[in-house]
Chain A
Amino acid sequence: GAGVSQSPSNKVTEKGKDVELRCDPISGHTALYWYRQSLGQGLEFLIYFQGNSAPDKSGLPSDRFSAERTGGSVSTLTIQRTQQEDSAVYLCASSVRGGGGAHNEQFFGPGTRLTVL
C-alpha cells in the first residue's frame, strides 16, 4: 500500500514568509509525528497527534511553528515568519497507534527540504 507522503519535496522561501508543509499518513494510522532534521542537530521531535486527543506540542521550537491535523488524517505544519535557522528537512511519520509497543513502529515520509534565503 501507499506509504507516508509529503509535499512539497523542496521549498525555497524568503526570510519572513510563511510556509505550509503537508503530510499524508498511511491510511488507518491514528498517530502522526513531525520531526526536523538539520545539520548538527540530528532529528528533533516537533509535534505528535494521537487520534482525537490534544496534540503533544512539547517539541515545537517557537510559537512561529504550528500544526493541525484535519479529520484525523492529513496534517499541515505551518511556519510563520520563517528564519534562516528554520532551514532543514521536515519529516513526517505515522504509526498504527501512539504510545509504547509494537504499534508505535513509525513509518517515515521522504521529507520536505526547506531552504530559507
Chain B
Amino acid sequence: AQSVTQPDIHITVSEGASLELRCNYSYGATPYLFWYVQSPGQGLQLLLKYFSGDTLVQGIKGFEAEFKRSQSSFNLRKPSVHWSDAAEYFCAVGAGYGGSQGNLIFGKGTKLSVKP
C-alpha cells in the first residue's frame, strides 16, 4: 500500500536559516506528490506539487522541492526561513496508479518552529 513518511515530527530553525523538511513515499510508479502547509487554526494550503517533468519544482512563499526517484524522496526546502513560516507541513501522495484513486495519502506532518 502507498504510504508517506515524514521522519521529523518537530523542527526548530532560526529565522534566516535554511530549511529542509524530509518526505519519503512508497509507490512503484511515478507518484503525484504534494506539499501542504497548515497554519494554526487554518485549513491546508498547497505549497507546490509534482506530477511529471522537471524534478525541481517551485512553489509559493519561496519554497521548492526536489523529486528524487532513486531515494523515493520529495524534500521541501527554503533558503531563508521567515518567522511567518512557523506552521505544520504535510507531504502527500495521490492514491492509486497515477493518483487515479482520487484521494490523497498524507504523512503525519512536521511542525516547524522559528526562533528569532
Contacts and interface: CB of A to CB of B under 8 A. Distances in A.
B42 interface: yes
Contact of B102 (A44, A50, A91): A50
Contacts of B51: 100-102
Interface residues of B, number: 29
A83 interface: no
B101 interface: yes
B102 A56 contact: yes
Interface stretch (A13-21, A72-80, A104-112): A104-112
B43 A108 contact: yes
B99 A101 contact: yes
Interface stretch (B14-22, B61-69, B70-78, B104-112): B104-112
Nearest to A98: B102
B78 to A, nearest CB: 21
Contacts of B100: 99-100
A98 to B, nearest CB: 4
Contacts of A31: 102
Nearest to A113: B41
Given A43-B90, A105-B49, A100 B43 contact: no
